[in-house]
Amino acid sequence: MREVYIAGVGSTPFGKHSDTSIENLAVTAVVQALLESTVERDEVGALYLGNFISGPLNGKEILAGLVADRIGLPPIPCTKVEGACASGGIAFRHAYLAVASGQTDIAIAVGVETMTHASTKQTTVALNCAMDNENDGPSGLTFPGLFGLAWRSHEERYGTSRSHVSAVVRKNKSNGLKNPLAQMGAILSEQEIAASLPICDPILLFDCCPTSDGAAAVVLVSKEVGKRIAQHLKHPLVEVLASVQTRGSPNIGGHQDLVSFNANVTAAAQAYEKARVNPQNIDLVELHDCFSIAEIIDSEDLGLVPRGQGGYWAIEGRTALDGDIAINPSGGLLAKGHPVGATGIGQIYEVTLQLRHQHSNQVQQARLGMTHNLGGAGVACTVTILRGNM
C-alpha cells in the first residue's frame, strides 16, 4: 500500500440548512476541498460519499453520482457507502484505499446528511434503520435507550456518576463555542445540565447530540501528487498513517456487556499497529460522542484513557484542550452536531486543521491525531490516525 496524504478539506457549518438541497451541501464541501488542494477536477479518479438516511428522509439516493455530476467530475467510479453513523468514516477509508492501492492518485471522500427538515418521528424512525430490528426492535429501544443502558452498566461497574458525565457535556459544549462550524456551544453549569429535559433515563437533553444538516469533504492524494502540489498549497500536507474499518455486533445481545464496543477495541488495535504508534502518542482525538456517555466508553475502548476512568479523566480536565489527551476539541457530536453521514469526514476535517495548527481550538504542538466513528449499536467502526508534517 502506498502513502496517502490529505491535500485539502472542506466543510459546511453543521446545523440547519433548510435553504438548500442535500446534493448542494455536499457540493459546497467538495468544491472547498478541491480548491484548497489545488488539484484539478479532471484529475480526480474516484469519489466516495458517506450517507445514511437520505432515502427515507429525502427520497434521494445515487448521491455520489449526483454530487459528481454537479461538480463536473470525469466519468469516474462514484460510490455511496453506508454503515449507519460510521458512513462518513467508511467513505474516507475507501477513498484512502483507492489511492493507497494505486487505483488512482487522487480521490475524494465526502459525507453529507440533512435531517432538520423532518419531523422528530420521521427522524427517529429513520435513525432506527441502524438497529437490528429483528432482535432489538421488540424492546422498543431507540438509541437514547441503548446508551441509557450503557450508562447504567458503566455506573454500576466503575462508579461513573451524573457529575462525571456532565463534565463531558460541559467540555464539549464549551469547545463548541469557539468552533465556527459548530451547531451550538455554551458554558454550562452542572446544575443547568441536570435541569435539562429528561429524554430516556438517565439521559437528559444535554447528553444528546443535536439533529443536524451538514457536509464535509477531503481530497486525498498519493505521495507523488503531494510532492507536485506542495509548493502551491497554503498549508502542509497531512499524512494518513492508518485507516481502519471493523465490524461488531448489530444488536445488544451480541455484546458481552455495554461498557465497551468490540468494534472500537478491534479498530483501535489495528490502527495503532498499522500506524506504529501507541495510544500515548496521540495528541488529540475526535471521537463519536453521539451521547455524552459514549465519549467515556469510546475513550476507554480506544486505549486513550484507562478502562473505567473515562468519567474521572473528564472531571479532572485530563481530556480538555490542554489535558493528557484532547478529546473532541471541535465540540464533538454533542456541540458541533451530528449530520450522520457527514460526521466521520467532519472529524477528519477537524483533525486536519489541528495538525496544520490552524484550528480555532488549537491543541498545542499537535502532531498525531485520531478520529473515531461508530455506527448503530456498534455494528461498524472506523478509526483513522493522521500525522502532521509541520
List all residues 6 or more positions away from 147 whose beta carbon is below 8 Å from its beta carbon: 203, 290, 291, 293, 294
Taking CB under 8 A as the rule, does residue 375 contact a second copy? yes
- Which of 251/299 has CB closer to a second copy? 251
Strand partners, 215: 112
Q: Can 338 be counted among the known catalytic residues?
A: yes
Cell (9 digits) for 103: 487505483
Please state the closest distance from residue 87 (CB atom) to a second copy, in A.
9
Taking CB under 8 A as the rule, does residue 129 contact a second copy? yes
- Which of 133/189 has CB closer to a second copy? 133
Restricting to residues 102-121, name those near a second copy by CB under 8 A.
Answer: 102-103
Chosen residue from 35, 133, 232, 358 binding a second copy by CB under 8 A: 133
List all residues 6 or more positions away from 109 whose beta carbon is below 8 Å from its beta carbon: 47, 48, 49, 50, 88, 91, 92, 94, 95, 96, 217, 218, 220, 345, 348
| Cα 265–chain centre separation | 16
Taking CB under 8 A as the rule, does residue 132 contact a second copy? yes
> What are the b/e assignments for 19-29, b being 16+ CB within 10 Å?
eeebbbbbbbb
CA dihedral 35, 357, 184, 118 (to 10 degrees): 40
Taking CB under 8 A as the rule, does residue 126 contact a second copy? yes
Please state the closest distance from residue 78 (CB atom) to a second copy, in A.
5
Q: Can 200 be counted among the known catalytic residues?
A: no
Taking CB under 8 A as the rule, does residue 99 contact a second copy? no
The owner of cell 458525565 is: 165
Chosen residue from 31, 76, 118, 233 binding a second copy by CB under 8 A: 76
Cell (9 digits) for 208: 444528546
Taking CB under 8 A as the rule, does residue 260 contact a second copy? no
Residue 214 CA neighbour count, 13 Å, CB half: 29
Active-site choice (85, 200, 208, 209)? 85
Range in contact with a second copy (rule: CB under 8 A) among 81-89, 197-205, 285-293, 353-361: 81-89
Chosen residue from 45, 248, 344, 346 binding a second copy by CB under 8 A: 248
Chosen residue from 13, 77, 236, 303 binding a second copy by CB under 8 A: 77
Quote the DSSP letter at residue 291: B
Restricting to residues 8-27, name those near a second copy by CB under 8 A.
Answer: 21, 23
List all residues 6 or more positions away from 36 whose beta carbon is below 8 Å from its beta carbon: 7, 8, 9, 10, 219, 233, 234, 235
Taking CB under 8 A as the rule, does residue 81 contact a second copy? yes
Contacting positions for a second copy (CB under 8 A): 1, 21, 23, 52-53, 55-56, 59-62, 64-66, 68-69, 73-84, 90, 93-94, 97, 101-103, 125-126, 128-130, 132-134, 245-251, 254, 262-263, 266, 375-376, 379-380
